[in-house]
A and B are shown apart, each in its own frame.
Chain A
Amino acid sequence: ILNVEQSPQSLHVQEGDSTNFTCSFPSSNFYALHWYRWETAKSPEALFVMTLNGDEKKKGRISATLNTKEGYSYLYIKGSQPEDSATYLCARIMDSNYQLIWGAGTKLIIKP
């Protein structure tokens, strides 16, 4: 197993502030990177599927970038709202077996 690391493990952010966190992964045999949001008492839901080096994707106030050469992806949240409180998971897919290797997640708590 080639590890996927997410940092920080948890994050408290004031409502209205912007924030970002990191997903690091081995850059060899890269196929795709997924970001998911997992709210308490719900199932994880997909945010982004990223495949190309330099990819930037946006969904409302949330955006993500991808650097496959150095092995990292950033997730940005602009103007955090209470509904953004969740655990954000990233998962890397290798081109050899198409399995998702998951990070442990970043738990984001928005303080009103």
Chain B
Amino acid sequence: DGGITQSPKYLFRKEGQNVTLSCEQNLNHDAMYWYRQDPGQGLRLIYYSQIVNDFQKGDIAEGYSVSREKKESFPLTVTSAQKNPTAFYLCASRGRIDSNQPQHFGDGTRLSIL
């Protein structure tokens, strides 16, 4: 079945360490997104990509980086510059960024600090 796979489900980061969250989709979607969820808040956009080899900063991009070398893959790196990385991270995709199609989501990765 088509869908979005995020891994790992749980991740722990040490001080000063960069960690990478994986997101793979087989829906043939052009647009992919990374969101962060904190308790009591709506999903906040970290980065998005409209097409391969292109990505744009969202509202809270500081301390994060992404790449989009393949249509299917949109990994997110949480760098040591992100001082408060503990959160739930969701990856999503949509056919096209300007379409009226809904977003499809992965199951999420929960990142914690050791």
Contacts and interface: CB of A to CB of B under 8 A. Distances in A.
Interface of A: 1, 4, 9, 32, 34, 36, 42-46, 49, 51, 89, 91, 98-105
B42 interface: yes
A105 B88 CA distance: 15
B107 A43 contact: yes
Contact of A89 (B4, B42, B104, B107): B42
Contact of A49 (B59, B90, B102, B106): B102
Contacts of B101: 49
B85 interface: no
Given A1-B59, A99-B48, A99-B58, A46 B42 contact: no
24 contacts: A36-B103, A42-B107, A43-B90, A43-B105, A43-B107, A43-B108, A44-B103, A44-B105, A49-B100, A51-B100, A89-B42, A91-B43, A99-B45, A100-B43, A100-B45, A100-B103, A101-B42, A102-B42, A102-B43, A102-B44, A103-B42, A104-B40, A104-B41, A105-B42
Given A98-B97, A98-B98, A34 B42 contact: no
Interface residues of B, number: 23
Contacts of A104: 40-42
Contacts of B104: 46
A51 B104 CA distance: 18
A32 B40 contact: no
A34 B59 contact: no
A103 B48 CA distance: 19
B5 to A, nearest CB: 10
A103 B40 CA distance: 10
A105 B42 CA distance: 7
Contacts of B105: 43-45
Contacts of B97: 98
Nearest to A41: B107
Contacts of A51: 100
